Amino acid sequence: MAIVEKAAYTGNEAMAEAMRQINPDVVAAYPITPATESVQLFSNFVADGQVNTEFVTVESEHSAMSACSGASAAGARVMTGTSSQGLILMAEMLYIAAGLRCPIILAEVNRALSAPINIHCDHSDTMAVRDAGWIQIFSENAQEAYDNLIQAVRIAEHPEVLLPAMVTTDGFIISHGMEAVELLTDEEVKSFIGQYRATRPLLDVDHPITVGGLDFTDFYFEHRRQIAQAVENARRVIPEIGQEFGRRFGRFYGFIDPYKLDDAELVMVALGSTAGTARATVDGLRTEGIKAGLLKIRVFRPFPAAEIAEALGRAKAVAVMDRSDGLAGCGGPLFAEVRSALYGGKNTPPVVDYIYGLGGRDINVNDLRRVFIDLARLAAGEPVGQLVTYLGVRE
């Protein structure tokens, strides 16, 4: 475990460094705030001959994912990066990339969706494409973003998975925040990810195949079932690769990251950078003798329902923190899935939802304390009055 460098990087810089070390065959990308920086940095690597990548400067995110799909089907290792409107402009192609079983890696920076237009963090963009068939990994900080991006290559390209994967950071909070990051050496990354060998590349002109054919009622269902199976296979592969990464480099990864959950009665569930704030809040409450805990979810797709049910097995009340509002009229997407994961289990504590931080609205320890105070009342037997609370908004 030779760590060559521990230096200050923004999330975008850490993502760009990971991309440089992964050295993909093709990158097709279109700039968008706050993901632009990593694309710019990567352009420098290309211009300076530090990577072997063919960089396709497309005219839109839709074309970015189209070119990525073509390049991946051709047999190349392919990456891109985007955010917000860019991600949802890609949405059609995200589904197709997964359906064509293209293991493309996407560095996604979570940002609010228009309208009103807003460039700051929330998870609306990533959640909007949660059913596209992509692996989705959330990062709490720049270090995780870097580690996740490298692992994503192995996960996506695993022969029993062959699905695209997006690794997300929170816009500005992580993408532009400077942190100490431990980089691996170029050699370590190279040996961890290995060479990509496509099984049936388009460029094998001696063995022509047709990619993207038309299925009618007689085959579509079977092909979609195969994708569902690949997602199920990823459930096994993701923790295996997280463990292997840990054994080699000292940082272990799984689906979820429990914090002080062993005896926790009041549990907060969160994704991304808010986990850090939640951990500080838990520490504060613990000094006051309150049994608070945090369940950070790292992988949103495939959704680790069993792991979550197990981790929340002793909780007396649960608050789900949703940094996006699915506008379902009954809570955010994380809430719906966490609550569903608990249904039918041994422990079914009251679960409430907090929609917070939309459009980059700051969230701090005091806000999260308020959530735990609500949970304490529920744990004491008070009935759930309001299932969904908008936290930190002027009403």
Partner 1 sequence: MANLKQLAAKPEPFSSGHRACAGCGAPIVARMVLLAAENPVVCGCATGCLEVTSSLFPYTSWRTPFIHSAFENAAATISGVEAAYRSLKRQGKLPVDKEIKFIAFGGDGGTYDIGFQSLSGAMERGHNMLYVCYDNEAYMNTNIQRSSATPKGAHTTTSPAGRVIPGKQQFRKDLTAIMAAHNIPYAAQASISHWNDLVTKVQKALAVNGPSFINVLQPCRLGWDFPPEETVEIAREAVDCCFWPLYEVVDGEWRLTYKPREKKSVIDWMKKQGRFKHLFRPGNEAILAEIQANVDREWEKLLKKCGETAEK
Residues forming contacts to partner 1 in the complex (CB under 8 A) are 25-26, 28, 52-54, 56-60, 62-63, 66-76, 78, 92-93, 96, 100, 202-205, 208-216, 219
CB of 92 to partner 1, least distance (A): 6
Judged by CB, which is closer to partner 1: 95, or 390? Answer: 95
**Rounded distance between C-alpha atoms, residue 69 and residue 178, angstroms:** 33
CB of 190 to partner 1, least distance (A): 14
Judged by CB, which is closer to partner 1: 196, or 390? Answer: 196
∠ CA 304-93-71, nearest 5°, is 100
**Rounded distance between C-alpha atoms, residue 132 and residue 140, angstroms:** 23
**Rounded distance between C-alpha atoms, residue 83 and residue 119, angstroms:** 9
Judged by CB, which is closer to partner 1: 176, or 190? Answer: 190
CB of 204 to partner 1, least distance (A): 7
Peptide bond into 164 cis (omega under 30): no
Concatenate the DSSP letters of all residues of 316-333 into one string: SEEEEEESS---SSS--H
CB of 323 to partner 1, least distance (A): 30
Residues pairing with 292 in the sheet:
266
**Rounded distance between C-alpha atoms, residue 136 and residue 94, angstroms:** 12
Judged by CB, which is closer to partner 1: 194, or 212? Answer: 212
CB of 330 to partner 1, least distance (A): 33
Judged by CB, which is closer to partner 1: 210, or 287? Answer: 210
CB of 274 to partner 1, least distance (A): 35
CA 178 to chain centre: 20
CB of 172 to partner 1, least distance (A): 29
Residue 223 is which amino acid? H
**Rounded distance between C-alpha atoms, residue 64 and residue 250, angstroms:** 35
- Structure token pair of residue 330: 């009954």
Judged by CB, which is closer to partner 1: 30, or 335? Answer: 30
- Structure token pair of residue 88: 């949802």
CB of 228 to partner 1, least distance (A): 18
Judged by CB, which is closer to partner 1: 53, or 148? Answer: 53
Q: Show Cβ contacts of residue 311 under 8 Å, excluding neighbours closer than 6 positions.
A: 256, 258, 261, 295
**Rounded distance between C-alpha atoms, residue 238 and residue 121, angstroms:** 26
Nearest to 24 by CA among 171, 210, 193, 201: 193
Judged by CB, which is closer to partner 1: 107, or 321? Answer: 107
